[in-house]
Structure 1
Amino acid sequence: MSDAKQSNALLIIDAQKAFERLEQEGAVPSDAVAKTRIATLLKAYRAAELPVIHVRHASLEPHSYFQSHLPGFEVMAAARERAGEVVVTKHVNSAFIGTELEAILHDRGVRSLTIAGATLNHCVETTARMAANLGFRVRLVADATWAYPVQSLDGVTFPASLVHAMSLANLNGEFADIVTTNDVVGHLAARPPVRPDDIPEV
């Protein structure tokens, strides 16, 4: 497969059932349908035959729903992996720490990442920042990620929509290009197909 086909990859971060458990307990996400847009992105990338990489969080915290032996570790139905797609397991916020993600991307010729998943202000933002620092171009899909309310040190609760907007503002221009699901799908649809003579002989 040519470098042109491999230069961009979709990175889905922590689209796991633990978030469904949290929402059953009352957590309200900034975007209730972001999960369905992840499914849209996956469909578009698979149709374009571009790499898809899934990141799962395996928490080492004793009371976390993301522990690897619990149901919350499992992937959401909308983001279910397919055979042959890379799955990276992490234990901290950044998908690059303690994993082989960077090596996998370099090995596949990936130079830019389209990132979606959760939560925006934690693992998504941390991974996006580090990806940019490592030299990858980052596109953050604003409507295919979500956040939850955050309480300040003085007890003020910031609504999820504000947390979401602030995280996007933190990343915009400095670490990532902020895009929408429609932007990404439209861009992929407009890409010219790879001709057989573009693919080098092995």
Structure 2
Amino acid sequence: MKRKYTKSALLLIDIQNDYFYKGKMELSESYEIASIAKKMLHDFRKKRKTVIHIQHIALHKGASFFVSGTHGAQIYEEVAPLEGETIIIKNTTNSFSGTDLFDYLNTKKIEHLTIVGMMNNMLNDSTVRTAKDLGFKVEVVCNEYASNNQFVF
């Protein structure tokens, strides 16, 4: 019997303090993205859908941001995980590379990913491409400066 719906998950990628005011890699659009992420997070929590926080921790010696144990590496307070929400630590731009994200999504039978994160051109791009290659339906929610703030792949 074919299912009538697909299971969805929200991936919040690298929404960490170092991208905000006084952070080590402050981005001009960080607050707009955090606002979008907060709204999406609220919607997913309200519907009791799966939420996954992707946190980048730098491993290379001499890293200038996302250094383990620093305030900058912590997930931004407005989108911080609640008890029981999954946090996946990554060390590269791709959220699938060297992590158990794929296994976790398969275990939960997730077919559709909604992605909100920092630096769409770099961090989200590699994750989106891998997700598509692995067979997931992917929706990327961007900041309001984009002409269309949602893309479905």
Q: Which residue in the other structure is 1:59 paired with?
A: 58
**3-state secondary structure, aligned to 1:33:** helix
Quote the residue 2:45 is aligned against. 46
Instruction: Point out where structure 2 has 5 or more consecutive residues left out of the alignment.
Output: none
Query: Which residue is equivalent to 1:132?
Result: 132
Q: Whose helix proportion is higher, 1 or 2? A: 1
**Deviation, structure 1 residue 13:** 0.2
The residue type equivalent to 2:12 in the other structure is I
- Bigger Rg, which one: 1
CA RMSD in angstroms, aligned pairs only? 2.6
Q: TM-score, normalised by structure 2?
A: 0.85
Could you tell me which residue of structure 2 aligns to residue 34 of structure 1?
A: 33
Matches within 5 A, 1:9-20: 9-20=9-20
| Residue 153 of structure 1: aligned partner | none
Instruction: Provide the TM-score with structure 1 as the length reference.
Output: 0.66
Structure 2 residue 115 is the aligned partner of structure 1 residue 115: yes
After TM superposition, which residue ranges in structure 1, 4 or more long, deviate above 3 angstroms? 3-6, 23-28
1:40 aligned counterpart, secondary structure? helix
Aligned counterparts of 2:50 and 2:25: Cα–Cα separation in 1? 35
SS at match of 1:112: strand
* 1:63 Cα offset (Å): 2.8
For this pair of structures, how many residues does the alignment match? 149
Residue 76 of structure 1: aligned partner: 76
Contact 1:12 1:117 in 2 (8 A): yes
Contact kept? 2:56, 2:89, Cα under 8 Å: yes
Evaluate the alpha carbon distance shift between residue 63 and residue 113 of structure 1 in structure 2; reply closer, same or farther with a 3 A threshold. same
